[in-house]
Structure 1
Amino acid sequence: MEAVLAASKPLDQRASCLHPSPSTKEPPAIRTPAPRPRSHQPPAPQPLSQACPRSLMKLTVSLPVLLCWSTLWWLREATAAQAPVPALPHRFLLQCLEQVRKIQAQSWELQEKLCASYQLCHPEELVLLGHSLGIPRARPSSCSNKALQLTSCLGPLHRGLFLYQGLLQALAGITPELEPTVDLLQLDVADFATNVWRQMEDMGVAPSMQPAPGPMPTFTSAFQRRAGGVLVASSLQTFLEQASRLLRGLTQP
C-alpha cells in the first residue's frame, strides 16, 4: 500500500505541473507599444484658393497688367519729351517780318502827322491820360529757337495784334485827314493777325476759339481821340519792335 502511494505521488506532482490550479495561475502581461517620437515637419501648404481671399487673388492677377501699362505710359512720355520740336516755316517768318516793317512805317506816319498838325509829339507826356482812358498795352512773350514753345510764342503775338486791331477801330473818326491812315493801319494789323492765326492752325497749336475782344476805351472829345492815336501808335511801335527781334532770332539757325 505504501509502495502504491509512493509511486502515485510523482504522478500527482507531474499532473499539477501540467494543469496548475486556478488560484496560482497569473495573467499574461500586456505590452503597450512605445510612443513614436513626433516629427517636426512643417504642415503641408494649403492651396492658394484656400489661403488667400478672392480680392488678393484678383490683385495678384492684375498687378502684371498694371506694371505693363505703367511701363508703356513712361515710354510714351519719354519719347514725347525727346521728340524734336517743330520749327516755324522760314517763309512764314520772312512774311511776318515784311508785315512788321509795313505796319511800323504806317505807324510812324500817323505819329508824324499828329505831331506836325496838333503838336502831340511826346507820347510819354500822355501816359497819365492813357491810364485814365483805359488804353491797354500788349507785349509778346519771349521764345527761343532751341526750345520753341509755339503756343507761348505765337499765341501772345496773335492776341497783341488782335488787341491793337480793336484799339485802331476805336480811333474811327479821329480827323478827316488822318482817318484813311488809321483805316489802312487797321487792315494791315488785321491781316498780320490772320496770318499768325492760320499758321497756328496749320501747326495744330491754335486755340479752339479766337480771343474775344476786351473792353475798349471810349473817347469823348476830339483831343482825347487824337491823344489816343498817339498812344496807340507808340504802343504798337514798341510791340512790333519786340516781335521783330523775336522773329529775327527764329530765322537764325
Structure 2
Amino acid sequence: MPCIDERLNIRELKGTSAAFASVLFTFPVTVINSKGEEILRRFHAFRMRSRQTVLPLLVSTVLCLGCTMLHAAPLPEFSGDQDFQQFLQKDLEYIRKIKGDVTQVQELVCTTLQLCNEEELMLVKQKLGISQAPLDQCHSKTFQVDACFSQIRDGLQIYHGHLALLLQLLPAHSSRVDALRLDVSNLSTNIQQQMEDLGLNTVTYPKAEGQGTLPSLSSDFDRQASAFIIPANFKRFLETSLRALRHLTLV
C-alpha cells in the first residue's frame, strides 16, 4: 500500500508544536510517496517558523511574569515622597557601611580564631540554635513598609546584643567591635525616629522563644563558633534589608 515517505517518522516531530503534529496527521494515510516530499518541505518550513516565533514569545512571557511578581506586593502611597526617599537613601548608605564593617569583623574572626568556613560549622550552628533575626515582613506578599522597617529596627537591636560576645573573643580588636555596635545602635534609633517623623506606625513583634538572646555556650569552642555564626547571620540580614530598601527606591 502506498504510504508516507519513510523519512517522515516520529523523530522528525521531536521538539515541534503539537498543533503541527495534529495538522500533519490529518493527511490521508493513502498519500503516495511523491507527496511525501511536499509534506516534508512544509514540515521543515513550519519548524523554522516555530523557532523564530515561539522563543521571543516565551521570553516576553517570562519578562511579564517577572514584572507581575515585582509589583505584586502593595507599596506605600508615600513611596514617591521626597522625605521618604531621603530616608531610604540615608538608611541604604548606613546599612552598606555596616555591612562592610561586618565583613571586616568576619576576616578578624577567620585570622584570630581560625574559623573561616560556614559549611564546616553547620552542625554546630544547628546544635546551638542561633537563628537569624526575622525579616519575613520585608518580602511577604502582604508587604507593608511600616512592618518591614519595624523588623529591620528590631533585628538591629538583636545583633547589637549578639555582637557583645565578640568583645570577649576579640579583645585585641575591641575598639572595632565597639564602633560596629555603636553604628548598629545608631541606625536602629534613626529608623525609629524617622518612622515617627513620617507618621509610620511602629510595630513591635513578639519574639519567639530564644529569639534575641544567645543560648548557653558551655564550651570555648561553642563561643568561638558563635563568634563566627553571628556576623554571618548579621550579614545576610543586612543583605535582605538592602534588597527591600532598594526595591522601595524604584517605585
1:121 deviates by: 0.7
Amino acid aligned to 1:248: R
The aligned counterpart of 1:93 is 88
How far has the Cα of 1:110 moved from its partner?
1.1
Rounded to whole Å, the distance in 2 between the matches of 1:114 and 1:176 is: 11
Are 1:85 and 1:148, in contact at CA under 8 Å, matched by a contact in 2?
no
RMSD (Å) for aligned C-alpha atoms: 2.7
Whole-Å separation in 2 of the counterparts to 1:134 and 1:142: 22
Give the SS at the match of 1:108.
helix
2:216 is aligned with 1:205: no
Which residue of 2 is the match for residue 224 of structure 1? 222
The residue that corresponds to 2:147 in the other structure is 152
TM-score w.r.t. length of structure 1: 0.58
Equivalent positions of 1:89-168 (< 5 A) are 89-141=84-136, 143=138, 149-168=144-163
Label 1:177 to 1:221 Cα distance change in 2 as closer, same or farther (>3 A). farther
Unaligned runs of 5+ in 1: 1-83
Identity of aligned residues (%): 35
- Write the distance in 1 (CA, Å) between the matches of 2:179 and 2:222: 21
Q: 2:36: which partner in 1? A: none
1:165 deviation in Å? 1.2
Q: CA deviation at 1:176?
A: 1.6
1:242 pairs, out of 219, 240, 243, with 240
Q: Per-residue CA shift, 1:30-63, capped at 9, x if unaligned? A: xxxxxxxxxxxxxxxxxxxxxxxxxxxxxxxxxx
Q: Does the 8 Å CA contact 2:165/2:227 hold for their aligned counterparts?
A: no
CA-CA distance at 1:134 after TM superposition: 3.0
Contact (CA 8 Å) 2:137, 2:144: kept in 1 or not? Answer: no
Q: Return the alpha-carbon distance in structure 2 between the equivalents of residues 247 and 123 of structure 1.
A: 27
SS in 2 for 1:137: coil
Whether the aligned pair in 2 keeps the contact of 1:170 and 1:217 (CA below 8 Å) is: no
How high is the TM-score relative to the length of structure 2? 0.59
Aligned to 2:47: none
Q: Which consecutive residues of structure 2, in runs of 5 or more, have no partner in the other structure?
A: 1-75
CA contact (8 A) 2:153 2:192 kept: yes
Q: Shift of the alpha carbon at 1:238?
A: 0.7
Q: Deviations over 1:2-37 (max 9, x none)?
A: xxxxxxxxxxxxxxxxxxxxxxxxxxxxxxxxxxxx
- Distance in 1 between the 2:175 and 2:217 partners? 19
| Deviation string, structure 1 residues 152-206 (Cα, Å, up to 9, x no partner) | 2212111211211121124331122232222222111111111111122222401
Q: Figure out how many residues of one structure are paired with residues of the other and give that number.
A: 168
Asked whether the 8 Å contact 2:146–2:200 carries over to 1, the reply is no
Q: Who is 1:13 aligned against?
A: none
Q: 1:125 to 1:188 in 2, by over 3 A?
A: same
Contact 1:135 1:217 in 2 (8 A): yes
Counterparts of 1:85 and 1:175, CA distance in 2: 46
Contact 1:159 1:211 in 2 (8 A): no
Distance in 2 between residues matched to 1:158 and 1:178, nearest whole Å: 26
